[in-house]
Structure 1
């Protein structure tokens, strides 16, 4: 309530008072205060009760002592009413009920004849609440959190709760690095049992880490220890990550990380002998001083499995209990053994199996004998599968990816496979799974899948610049999870000086309950290659693409489809057209094809959003047996993601394309592939790498090709200060690629402008492979995937065009 609302309180608002009071019935602070003051009130009630030896039928109830609220609000808390027979023993019940409301600091009960007299002293109410001096946090958000905590305007005032609020705010600032912040309060009493509270915050300044020293370390260098810590002294990206600001919680986490690192290197006797964080003389900074005792490393002498595996073949469990004799004892490797053994037992339904590492340490020899003790317990069944965190995506979209069924035997493998399939949907930045035992049952668990949704409706806007195409614009509206159904619907429009494209696409990944998918698109494209200085040719293409995907296993899927298309080609009459194009169009300028398509995919990636492990393979074949053009084309793509460490991922992508005409025809040039730019070979301008021909007017034209090789290698790592954000990553890369053409329409090899045979696949020589290397940034932004790169070409051929800085919206690798 505001001040005016409290001042103008009327009996009609008694229900509002009851509702507000209800918020504090379970408030811990209120219950504690009531308990402290209950003794004198109870004594008063007892004295009155002695004077009335028998029960009395109540003719009225009188409430006294209220200054702010209406008496009718009290009646809702009383366990008795007019007309009831009141017994002296009921006094305690009345007092308890009123104290439990949290609204009164003193209560007494008595009888005046047949009238029950209730005397109350109200708790003060917070009439006004203000936070001053808070700049580094959102005051509205903090005030809302305090309201949830039970402290806000219109709520009863409790001094103990105010002190707790100040302590929590102080801790909040300390955790953020403002360790010198001071939080004080002012309480001003007002009339009608009201108070005005002001919390004053002096935030102080962030303490910068001026120096970090480590003493006593011999086996592990100070530089390595510093690299383990998140806190840093004026690092390269400290201006962004704020890691040079001292924060007690982050420092505590750093100490734990250092300790874990030593344990992983076998130093089981490691300890910090001294840790100090003194302020600098000017009070603006802080020093971190650590002294350590490393001890000597321990080595594994033996490792053995103990316990009953309950029907799981012992040899299948023992294969996970392997450790090289005399190798350094590593706690993280021991944790891996526990995880692998638990997973194997879980595959047979032992979800609650206990797996413990029991080391026997010999301090004199520094050898450790390890026993892996297993207690499988009972086989476990899944009671419920719960989906959490999806506010937009329908449950069924997530549940249909689950391979662990309810009321069936628990399988760790199926649970993990389900998590991976959910993450591969690409709708979530994070997907986790938790197995929770059911209380009161030793053979049941609930499986909870938790997701964090990302925007799936992409409004993509592209702005590009190249020396040839100048400024280009592209835009699309794609909803990959239309109304949370898992279906996709999109409209894509591209426009630049060289092209005009419009495409409508739709996808239903579960056209049938067995997981048969349907993809449909209709498109219209106009392309003027002369604007890119590639060749003086204009294309108009209209087509429809329909395909169906049929799953044949959990990871394998085959595709079948049809792609009718009409192409119209307009060659310039000025003689600025590549000879191979002119030769192909001798029979006309309009070509209709009816391509049949087939494909296969294999996907084991752990995520469709930002993969860190697994692979994706695709094989697509296309043949046009009908229509004006006869050709075939095959494409194979392999992506592989290998986690090198917790934050480093090695990503590899390769693409192989091979196309050829048949039946006396050559591969249609309007189906040619091109290379250069993001998505193929970075550092080279888009579509400006590969075979060229000189036109009759002496101009150079890029003709593309039907055979292509592309390989990309990336080392991906988090952006400094954003290690937990999978959507923002830096990378270094190395690319290679080559492009070759089919024979000409006359059946002879095509020679380029330098008289090089570009129909022959060659990895070196005049039309050999090109290479590049560089650095880049990928960002899953709200408007779609963004990728920036700076590439330096290697083995550049005379007519290849460079474009070192490039960026693109909507690219995937």
Structure 2
């Protein structure tokens, strides 16, 4: 009993001791927690910072990122620790980050930064994606091998892939991503995107509810510009694309606004599945009423009176309230109200149309004008020209320091820069930098250089044979730097001169050498051009290429020309004069001319008067190009004393010095119909006349009509080639005495629609469809402008800076050619190196 009681006493004593110890520890713990409470943070000094958990990242880099250093005073808890953790997470290098209190001694602490590194992507794989699409996605995805495989980056990648397929019409596409450990690389994963495209979804039906002003067909055609049931534009598919659909809903309301329905709204819309390949669209409309303009009032105008502004606006009382037209007449058109002000220097001009009274079906407009002061050009800066010398650019500008700001002069300057062909016309820009304090503006022209030089390796069918051409054209050459060693990179360039050399041949049968040089600014002060050219060609009358003969036709000649820009009627007009000489030698040359042996000389003066306002050379969208030319020789028969009526006169004597007067008129016109869809119209007329009826028509300098009109082969037979697609080469040139081909009058008409596929400095591609007609006659008395050979066709053009324009057309000629049954119907026209005419 006594021993049992002693044992119970000892157990009670031990229990009390354990309890007291636990209470002491708990109190200490509560005191420590109280020391670092968010309610009462403490200021402590960092004694040291350690790093744990890193495997592939240098700890010193990590310490530099967090910005916590030995000796810093921080708050615990506090913003410094929170900010350090955020910095580490923002690097996307870690999947988990914590900063722990490793040791504390009074107000000094040791911090440990513990991280778990995010695995890196070793490679990206695709399932359900075709090879071409993989390449496209590789360019579009920002996710690359070597990056961290975070959920955020994977989600972003999935959205990018989904959008890629949605834009291609796969409305039901599903994309998933998975990560798998890469056994071959430490801390690396392989990311695999699985794509279920589903089927392409196209629009089967588009229905409108509530439309009374316009029929559904009109709304589908004019309002829904990209979302179509049937799309005749082969370059814009009728597949359903959500972004295009949203844009077309806005276009639909814009169409209503254009016709005065200012209150028109889309009440709601629905895109519903008809099946897995077709969707239907239903749009509920509230058209509202059609509004007209009641009155237009101008407020704040002091430079121009209200009647002048009304005339410039071109909209007034009782006109349909067309908001699109109003915007164009105020701000966009070349002769808009804002352009009229800005051409007088009012750069800070602004006009705000305000609807002051909307009642019944009419709107009163108040045009609130802030004219501002006139701005003077303080400086003209050119940016981006790393090849073309600055003086070549400046001489084309119409804006000079000290002049008043002029929008028209700026647009004309941009047009002239595009016409040079040295810069990408799609990126030419102007950046006005105004200084309101002193009323000045600095103009910054931005250009992007592109290669204008061409290496021509071409092949084509012309003059009844296959001809290959090797040539070079340096469109931005510099003669002045020809003898400077540092300028040969690879050739002297930058002064805007043109130098070309071409050698054409098909072996022993035909050889031709052409050389030309153009200085566009002779003397450097005025736009007066100097042109020099040389031509040599020889054509052997060989039945087979490997069997050359002594029968040949040879031409040697040259020309010197001078042209300048005129100021009247406007400065788009130019005049050009040229003196040329050709020497023709014929030896047993049959069928092509009215004589087969002899020598002929052609000394002529050519005058060309024209106007060219085309906005750019590669893919014009606006402007026109008209020219009227006269080429004539001296009338030798009037003063040389020869009797040309004598039957004994031989042809080589009759045509020793040929005489003629040659007239040509050409007109080309470009207009953008809708976006980048361009209409091109072309009309040509040519006539070769004589001075003396007893001498007759010249055997040279006539026209050769039909086929591709390869400009490089114009002088194979001493004639001007005129292309007419849908017909074989030369097939429309009449045959006259001795079977010779001679056309002394022709006409040609073209209607062409062009649409671009790619417009970039590296390459420009556009497709075209056309209708063409024309004919050729021997004598003026037989000329009938309504007697034409007609054709239609389609083609494509590819412009590569180093090769020039490449083209292929397929055309169908409707009208048969007398004596040549195979000359019409389907005719291909293929070209490398030079454009079709």
Unaligned segments of structure 1, at least 5 residues: 1-39, 741-757
SS in 2 for 1:173: helix
The 8 Å contact of residues 357 and 363 in structure 2, kept in 1 or not, is answered as yes
How much does 1:199 deviate?
A: 3.4
1 CA distance for matches of 2:707 and 2:122? 62
The 8 Å contact of residues 127 and 192 in structure 2, kept in 1 or not, is answered as no
SS in 1 for 2:736: strand
Show CA shifts across 1:232-266 (max 9, x none). 6664768x546231110111122222222222122
| More deviation, 545-554/394-403 | 394-403
1:790 match = 811
The 8 Å contact of residues 420 and 606 in structure 1, kept in 2 or not, is answered as yes
1:523 aligns with 2:535: yes
2:671 match = 643
1:357 match = 353
The 8 Å contact of residues 95 and 108 in structure 1, kept in 2 or not, is answered as no
2 CA distance for matches of 1:162 and 1:659? 76
Unaligned segments of structure 2, at least 5 residues: 1-32, 478-490, 545-549, 637-655, 709-721
Q: 1:565 to 1:464 in 2, by over 3 A?
A: closer
1:568 aligns with 2:585: yes
How much does 1:643 deviate?
A: 2.9
How much does 1:274 deviate?
A: 3.3
The 8 Å contact of residues 430 and 451 in structure 1, kept in 2 or not, is answered as no
1:69 aligns with 2:57: yes
1:774 match = 792
How much does 1:347 deviate?
A: 0.7
SS in 2 for 1:521: strand
How much does 1:279 deviate?
A: 1.0
The 8 Å contact of residues 429 and 452 in structure 1, kept in 2 or not, is answered as no
1:264 match = 258
How much does 1:291 deviate?
A: 3.0
1:701 aligned to which of 729, 735, 740: 740
SS in 2 for 1:319: helix
2:16 match = none
How much does 1:333 deviate?
A: 1.5
The 8 Å contact of residues 131 and 201 in structure 1, kept in 2 or not, is answered as no
How much does 1:132 deviate?
A: 1.9
1:227 aligns with 2:221: yes
2 CA distance for matches of 1:658 and 1:324? 53
Q: 1:111 to 1:462 in 2, by over 3 A?
A: same
Show CA shifts across 1:20-66 (max 9, x none). xxxxxxxxxxxxxxxxxxxx9x97999996455xxx9x7x7644443
2:650 match = none
Output aligned runs, 1:550-589, within 5 Å: 550-553=564-567, 554-572=571-589, 580-581=594-595, 589=598
2 CA distance for matches of 1:373 and 1:794? 61
1:675 aligns with 2:705: yes
2:500 match = 490
1:716 match = 753
1:463 aligned to which of 443, 460, 465: 460
1:544 aligns with 2:558: yes
1 CA distance for matches of 2:152 and 2:499? 57
1:298 aligns with 2:291: yes
Output aligned runs, 1:93-108, within 5 Å: 96=83, 99-100=86-87, 102=91, 103=93, 105-107=97-99
1:347 aligned to which of 343, 346, 350: 343
1:211 aligns with 2:220: no
Q: 1:76 to 1:46 in 2, by over 3 A?
A: farther
1:614 aligns with 2:589: no
2 CA distance for matches of 1:615 and 1:624? 30
How much does 1:207 deviate?
A: 1.3
1:763 match = 783
The 8 Å contact of residues 816 and 823 in structure 2, kept in 1 or not, is answered as no
Q: 1:196 to 1:792 in 2, by over 3 A?
A: closer
1 CA distance for matches of 2:217 and 2:588? 65
SS in 2 for 1:716: strand
1:736 aligned to which of 768, 771, 774: 774
1:807 aligns with 2:808: no
2 CA distance for matches of 1:645 and 1:664? 52
2 CA distance for matches of 1:291 and 1:273? 5
How much does 1:600 deviate?
A: 3.4
TM-score normalised over the length of structure 2: 0.73
The 8 Å contact of residues 257 and 323 in structure 2, kept in 1 or not, is answered as yes
How much does 1:605 deviate?
A: 1.5
1 CA distance for matches of 2:37 and 2:631? 95
Q: 1:273 to 1:124 in 2, by over 3 A?
A: same
Show CA shifts across 1:660-712 (max 9, x none). 468996664233333333444444443343553233xxxx322333xx34231
How much does 1:361 deviate?
A: 5.8
Q: 1:711 to 1:284 in 2, by over 3 A?
A: closer
2:372 match = 377
1:689 aligned to which of 732, 746, 752: 732
The 8 Å contact of residues 185 and 200 in structure 1, kept in 2 or not, is answered as yes
1 CA distance for matches of 2:672 and 2:138? 44
1 CA distance for matches of 2:179 and 2:689? 82
1:14 match = none
Name the count of aligned residue pairs: 719
1 CA distance for matches of 2:118 and 2:56? 9
Q: 1:569 to 1:800 in 2, by over 3 A?
A: farther
1:503 match = 514
How much does 1:346 deviate?
A: 1.3
Show CA shifts across 1:487-525 (max 9, x none). 444343445698543323343434543334333332222
1 CA distance for matches of 2:357 and 2:605? 68
2:319 match = 327
The 8 Å contact of residues 423 and 608 in structure 1, kept in 2 or not, is answered as yes
Q: 1:157 to 1:559 in 2, by over 3 A?
A: same
The 8 Å contact of residues 704 and 743 in structure 2, kept in 1 or not, is answered as yes
The 8 Å contact of residues 433 and 441 in structure 2, kept in 1 or not, is answered as yes
Q: 1:703 to 1:231 in 2, by over 3 A?
A: closer
SS in 1 for 2:247: helix
1:602 match = 611
1:179 match = 171
Q: 1:181 to 1:806 in 2, by over 3 A?
A: closer
TM-score normalised over the length of structure 1: 0.75
Show CA shifts across 1:614-634 (max 9, x none). 222334444555996263544
CA RMSD of aligned residues (A): 4.6
SS in 2 for 1:772: strand
1:278 aligned to which of 272, 275, 279: 272
The 8 Å contact of residues 810 and 829 in structure 2, kept in 1 or not, is answered as yes
Q: 1:525 to 1:112 in 2, by over 3 A?
A: farther
The 8 Å contact of residues 582 and 603 in structure 2, kept in 1 or not, is answered as yes
The 8 Å contact of residues 654 and 711 in structure 1, kept in 2 or not, is answered as yes
2:411 match = 416
1 CA distance for matches of 2:119 and 2:39? 30
Q: 1:462 to 1:258 in 2, by over 3 A?
A: farther
How much does 1:334 deviate?
A: 0.9
Output aligned runs, 1:87-98, within 5 Å: 87-88=73-74, 96=83
2 CA distance for matches of 1:638 and 1:273? 54
2 CA distance for matches of 1:606 and 1:254? 30
Q: 1:397 to 1:609 in 2, by over 3 A?
A: farther
Q: 1:95 to 1:298 in 2, by over 3 A?
A: closer
1:631 aligned to which of 652, 659, 662: 659
Show CA shifts across 1:586-608 (max 9, x none). xxx22344444443332112222
SS in 1 for 2:683: strand
